[in-house]
Amino acid sequence: MARQRGNRWQADVVVEGKRKRVSLLPRRKPRIMSVWSRRDLTPSETTKFGPFVDEQFERIWGEAKSIKSIRMNLGVIYQYIPRNTLLVNITDLRIDDMVTKMKRDGMANGTINRKLDNISKSLKRAKKLRLITQLPEIERLKEGAGRDRR
C-alpha cells in the first residue's frame, strides 16, 4: 500500500517472500505502481479493503455525480465486509454471504445490486494495480421493470 512519509511516498512490496519498502520522491503517488511493475515486484498482501477504497476513491469515482450515495453504499458494505478485510480475502463465497445477509435484512434486489456495483468497481481497480490476481465472480440479482417517468 502506498502512503506518504514525510515529503516522500513509500510502498510495501514482497520480493521472494521478504517484505521490502520502495521510497520515491513526491512527484506523483501513482508512480509507485509503475515502479512495482518495472522492478517485477508484487504489492504486499496486507492491503486492506477500507484503506484501499479511501486511498483510491477519487481515482475510482472522481467524476461521479452521486458521490454522496456511493459513500453511503460503502458504509453499508463495511457492515457486511469490514474495512480491515484483506483484499485477497474478498472471494466469491464472501460476496455470496454478504448478499444472503442483505436479503435476510430486507434489502431489495436493486439495492443489493448497487452495493455489488461499488464492490466490483473497487476490486477492478485493485486488480488493475495488481493488488489481487483475480476478480471474484459477482452475480447481479434480477430487478423489477422499474418505472416509466414521463
Condensed to tens digits (0 to 9), the pLDDT of residues 98-119 reads 999 999 999 999 999 999 999 9
* pLDDT for the residue 62: 86
120-133 pLDDT, tens digit per residue, is: 999 999 998 888 88
In whole numbers, what is the pLDDT of the chain averaged over residues?
82
Angle at alpha carbon of residue 36, lines to 30 and 42, rounded to 5°? 120
- Region 44-66: mean pLDDT is 85
Domain ranges of the chain: 1-44, 45-141
Cell of 12: 510495501
Q: CATH for 45-141, among 3.40.50.10800, 3.50.50.60, 1.10.150.130, 1.10.3720.10?
A: 1.10.150.130
Percent of the chain at pLDDT exceeding 90: 49
Find the length of the chain.
150
| Overall pTM > 0.75 | no
Distance of CA 120 to the CA centre of its chain: 8
Cell of 96: 455470496
Looking at per-residue pLDDT, the higher value among 93 and 9 belongs to 93
Distance of CA 114 to the CA centre of its chain: 15
**Cα separation, 101 vs 107, whole angstroms:** 9
pLDDT value at 147 more than 90: no
Q: Phi and psi of 125, rounded to 5°?
A: -65, -40
